[in-house]
Structure 1
């Protein structure tokens, strides 16, 4: 479905000032941001940022110049220009007829820099009226979850400009992010690393950041009869009666993914460190796959890849045990080891 964007015409304001020098009057002109003075036509001319700024829009978006600024919109967006009266008189489902561009505003004498040196001159002019998708100089950063004003555009008309949510306030719009994220480039949401910013995990806990939050996991996850041999690594000694029939070792790993990740997706590779030709290794999912969301793809005789086959929607935590069986053909020896992988799925696809 094609999007329709309604842009209101900007009223260009200029100020008047006369400078007297050596008994002779000299008049200079300045134009509103996004315009520059045309000495030939003696008029304020709109700056075409789509031409002046290289790579003004990213991600396949098209650049659309408008009065005093520019917008980055999807390629299928349809642009209409109308006045406020057209908006009030339009019936339900009526789309305004496209209007020709407004004529360049007539200049008025004004105080300020000489022609061509004011804030409207150069490739960076008019940044205060650019949409948040523009790549020109960004406005001052705002606190997280506070609107970032941008030129009188309504959220109902441009909902796709914000990665998470668009909020109208006092005739302008702003993008906000959910808890655990911070606003980037006025429209994108970036995960905050609470483990670096400050957390409440104790000294015997490991802080693990995931998309939208963090978890506190024990540094020593081993439970009897297993004993810790390194952080996140446990062993069950063969001379301990309770260890008979149990995997000889357990390794704990953690990872974070976004919600609704594209399928199929390679998640985690498990491999044996023993390269002996007399060793035969086989891999299987021992537990945590009741919903048939994963399978193991054999890479070689020493490694396998855990693959996600069904979309995982967050927020959620999935714990998968991958078991490696080892058979020594020379000594007729068998053993096994468990890798316990905790997958934390964030609540959002970013």
Structure 2
């Protein structure tokens, strides 16, 4: 404010041009003031000069400040875009199509830029030097062959081969035993006994089997109707009595009950045991497979601004960065934009202008279309449920997810089946208004990572 002496501004409204912007009459003098964005010069001339907010640290820009006459504007470096006038957020070139990656490359977004990474085909894994090498599904137990099948690894894949004595019933189906006794009548000179994957020729009492394992020779022929001279013996669990041999043989539970194990079955004498694919362990019932939570059991540490995402049969470290003007809430791990000053556009009485929540969802394979995936509910800083309007603001490029309201919450679903061994990412906005729906009360952004397993468990 500049004060002048001895010159009274006349009452008829005529004002001497002594002030650059605003002149106010006071008894015995006048005062000069400047419009917003300007300040009085120091030479007591009453003139105004522009305030460089960028130099005086009066701006609210998060990245780049550009001074203008009477004000300023905010700008962002390359790879970022302006958000809410003052803040910069990363441009996801991979989702927006602003990248130059080839059709055989995956685009990986980074802060302010992106990377092109050569894509490995299904059945191949990427090495540190970027090359793709074959995954041996047979050695790593990532195959779907049944216990009576042999896994044969190929470049980028594998196939299941029936063992000797079995025949295939089609791709992805178990092998069935060949009953040689029925298909080849007379293969044995006396009697034929079919076994799993093979057969045995039986000779009558008093005769012995010859070297060809099919013919019999001995002292005398004993009619089949003649009563057995052997006493039947009791068999232990997992064994079956064969009257002709008068002995106990093993029951192959894996073949006689194909579904006895959820994944792979290995027969043992008098019993069996189940095996699970990599990333799973056998459940307490000894038959089903349950996921190994590597994030907890192996105490995976992903580092700053990242979190461990336990998937079914695997895990990954996902990025959970907070924007520059947000802080990480130590209790919830959410990113919060606090209402700390007037430069942040906040709803009335709100503690946070925006909250970013990171959600993960691990699903088994076999999820069909029109199935509900996850329910989203927004809460305020006092943990009170808010009735919100939900909108998908970023959908996954591979498939469109949809939302429907449900008593103030939002339910995410899809109109297409989910693909196994695939991950998805969507961003959902939840906006809560007052009772009259006139003003915004609360805003939450959900970033959801979804993974689909290769197995239906």
**TM-score using structure 1 length:** 0.49
Greater RCO between the two (CA within 8 Å, min separation 6)?
1
**TM-score using structure 2 length:** 0.39
Q: Which has the higher strand share?
A: 2
Larger Rg: 2
